Amino acid sequence: MVCAAISLAGGSATATSLSRRPALDLRSRRLLWARAMSHVAPRLSSATVGAPTPEHDQRHSGRARAVAAQAGVRQALISLSDKTDLANLGNGLESLGFSIISTGGTASSLEAAGVNVTKVEQITHFPEMLDGRVKTLHPSIHGGILARRDQEHHLKALNEHGIGTFDVVVVNLYPFYDKVTSGAISFEDGIENIDIGGPTLIRAAAKNHKDVLVVVDHRDYPALLKYLQEKQVDPQFRRMLAWKAFQHVASYDSAVSEWLWKQSNSGDIFPPSFTVPLSMKSTLRYGENPHQKAAFYGDRSLSLVNAGGIATSFQHHGKEMSYNNYLDADAAWNCVSEFENPTCVVVKHTNPCGVASRQDVLEAYRLAVKADPVSAFGGIVAFNTTIDEDLAREIREFRSPTDGETRMFYEIVVAPGYTEKGLEVLKGKSKTLRILEAKRSGKNMLSLRQVNGGWLAQESDDLAPEDITFTTGSERAPTDSELSDAKFAWLCAKHVKSNAIVIAKDNCMLGMGSGQPNRVDSLRIAFRKAGEAAKGAALASDAFFPFAWKDAVEEACENGIGTIAQPGGSMRDKDAVECCNKYGVSLLFTGVRHFRH
């Protein structure tokens, strides 16, 4: 795009007349530009009595830029905090005949790379001021960006005020996100790291993308230079750059907004409105089903920095993750992260079907699989300890408890770390086995869930057994071991889909029932899986029992359960107490419900 000419001394030059001028070679363009700016530069430093007035300088600047524009010199404005590949960009644009306009540190870096630079203050006739708060906020800059080249009255206005146009704007922003997440930062320091001029330049250029190419990502520099070198005319390229620019600013503003909300509303986690900054990490083969397209996005909210979890995990080996893989791995990792002792969790379709804690993690692994080996086959295995060679070999070679022959197959193994040998051994299990390394999931997170037309937001369910009181409601109090079993079953039930029943003993899940419309069916499934081992074990329910006699409570007692833990709150809690007293079962009330839909 040829820069529109402006000549206060020689009358008005239209875009049409400029486009018909013969093109000059690069050397001639540079000489004309140098001559033009040398005409203006002495006036910028003059501070003596009788020095030219700003109006006089403006007229001469208009003439200078008109000379440059008539020479066909295009202008690029570059202002960067992140100066990655800046030298390549500057030299590339200059080799294509662009005159580079720049600010402060960016200008210095370009000059150090051998690029000829005109500083912004030579265009605006205003120095940087207010500690750098005002640099580019000036009509000589924004007029040259926003002017539509197909509108004669826009070009006439530029001509009258001695303003030249910009064809390329390359800007990125103060590192606000990095600054406020790097550690303790004062409110004043945070405020000073909010970029004002940068977003304004980006938005202006993106709005006028038909005439101005706007770039906010150094990874787009090669595509920009190729586009200009090949003299491409591709509206879609310009629109994609504009979209990326507006998205860049939106993400930046969301970080500022989130930070300011936390600074001004201590303890209130539900702002009246907020933006979630998502960034695509990968496209997926498909969604829950092959006919559904899908992608995976990372959440760059400030609250999730160093929060851990599957979204920030590292994949060491195996096939690419699928939509369902992410859901299952997330469920397994969130569950295993709850436990302090060495623990193994096996998940199938987001439900933990096996959980066991032991000082010997190999034993924990075997017991977790044994809880439901049929479901465990093709599931996800998660550990809260580093996987060494011995554990890796056990995972690789372990045979199904159902027949003692079939080698267990898993989709994913996830752990907080691996020894070098452990990782080597585990990779040998299968080419497709996904091996993930994750950081422990954080607490006090905001949980979001989509419904058609809106979102639900809630605090994460972070309560652990030590955070609540298990109150004995029956005549018989539990023994220490029974209370420990009840707490373990209660913590497991927290991660099982409602209606949830978990039977556990000796820090090991024996059976679980999940997702049934009524609690009795979930209870029966759990007992069927636990078998005879359920006798004397603890049973936990995610919600209260609406009925006791000839219902779930009495059926549990008749099956030999030793302790029942439930939230309580039913109008028939007294029936549950009397039923447990009849069978000599210890009944504990937690006062906390753990629905999971």
Give catalytic residues, as residue numbers: 207, 349
| Contacts of range 222-225, beta carbons closer than 8 Å, 24 or more positions apart | 224/89, 224/168, 224/170, 225/89, 225/92, 225/93, 225/96
Which residues, other chains included, contact 217 with Cβ-Cβ below 8 Å and sequence gap of 6+?
Answer: 172, 244, 248
What's the rounded Cα separation, in Å, for the pair 580 and 555?
11
Helix (H) or strand (E) holding 217: none
Q: Determine the 3-state secondary structure of 194 from DSSP.
A: coil
Helix (H) or strand (E) holding 459: strand 454-459
Are the CB atoms for 135 and 104 separated by under 8 Å?
Answer: yes
Do the bridges between strand 294-299 and strand 501-504 make them parallel or antiparallel, or are there none, so unpaired?
unpaired
Are the CB atoms for 539 and 576 separated by under 8 Å?
Answer: no
Helices marked H in 437-551: 480-493, 519-530
Q: Determine the 3-state secondary structure of 215 from DSSP.
A: strand
Name residue 119's beta-bridge partners: 102
Phi, psi torsion values for 366, nearest 5 degrees: -60, -45
**Radius of gyration of the CA atoms of the chain, in A:** 34
Are the CB atoms for 310 and 328 separated by under 8 Å?
Answer: no
Are the CB atoms for 519 and 496 separated by under 8 Å?
Answer: no
50: alpha, beta or left? (left if phi > 0; alpha if psi -120 to 50)? left
Which residues, other chains included, contact 454 with Cβ-Cβ below 8 Å and sequence gap of 6+?
Answer: none
DSSP string, 354-406: EEEE-SSHHHHHHHHHHTSHHHHTTEEEEESS-B-HHHHHHHHHPBPTTTS-S
Token pair for residue 40? 């203006």
For tokens 């001639």, the residue is: 28
Which residues, other chains included, contact 534 with Cβ-Cβ below 8 Å and sequence gap of 6+?
Answer: 503, 510, 511, 526, 527, 559, 560, 561
Q: Is the dihedral of CA 424, 425, 426, 428 positive or negative?
A: positive
Residue 301: closest CA among 445, 171, 196, 440: 445
For tokens 């005409």, the residue is: 39
What's the rounded Cα separation, in Å, for the pair 567 and 571?
12
Q: Determine the 3-state secondary structure of 516 from DSSP.
A: coil
Q: Determine the 3-state secondary structure of 547 from DSSP.
A: coil
Helix (H) or strand (E) holding 462: none
